[in-house]
Amino acid sequence: MSRTLLALMVPEAEPLVGDLRARLDPAAKLGLGAHITLVYPFLDSERITPAVADRLRTVAAAREPLAFQLDAVRMFPSTVWLAPSPAAGIGSLAAALQLAFPERPRRDREFPDYVPHVSVAREVRRDRGAIAATLEERLHANGPVPCLARQVYVMERVPEGWRTRLVVELGSAS
């Protein structure tokens, strides 16, 4: 049994944040590339049946691919992250996925509002200001990062790290 999550992978962000994530994001150290989490936790791996995969495909197919840019640095109490803009489509997709899978487990600590983001540094409460300043400098020098998400990824946590379990296409219903 393994944990899973649903995510939009954001490889466009790697040139800007890959080195920071490699040092400062535990998920990156386990092989999870730059991403926006849509649902976590999702379902335990043994519960991802063909019927679940079909339901996931149906939800994703009804949504268009998402164009956005990473254009702002933000912080949670112990995390530095990049904000996507516009974020409404990502939030709408996350809500649709949560609604389609009411059986998903709940986190011990639920957050009242979903905030789409690409984590760059986690568990950095003390150093987050300096990390955010570094990221701001990079973003200012390089400009916003244009992104296009065409797929939803089911990522599975195995002993070796994170791996792709399933990929479904956005907008394939049209």
Q: What are the domain boundaries of the chain?
A: 4-169
- Return the structure tokens found at 102: 């009411």
The answer to whether the pTM exceeds 0.75 is yes
CB 165, CB 45: distance < 8 Å: yes
Q: What is the pLDDT of residue 138?
A: 98
Q: Which residues contact 86 (CB under 8 A, 6 or more apart)?
A: 68
At the topology level of CATH, where does 4-169 sit? Answer: Cyclic Phosphodiesterase; Chain: A, (3.90.1140)
> Is the pLDDT at 1 greater than 90, yes or no?
no
Q: Which of 168, 151, 152, 169 is nearest to 40 (CA)?
A: 152
User: How long a stretch of residues is the chain?
Assistant: 174
Position 52, amino acid: V
pLDDT mean across residues, the chain: 95
> Is the pLDDT at 173 greater than 80, yes or no?
no
- Return the structure tokens found at 158: 């195995």
Q: Read off the pLDDT of residues 125-147 as tens digits, 9 standing for 90 and up.
A: 889 999 999 999 999 999 999 99
pLDDT category at 110 given cuts 50, 70, 90 is low
Position 112, amino acid: P
d(CA 98, CA 77): 25
Question: Quick one: average pLDDT of 13-26?
Answer: 98
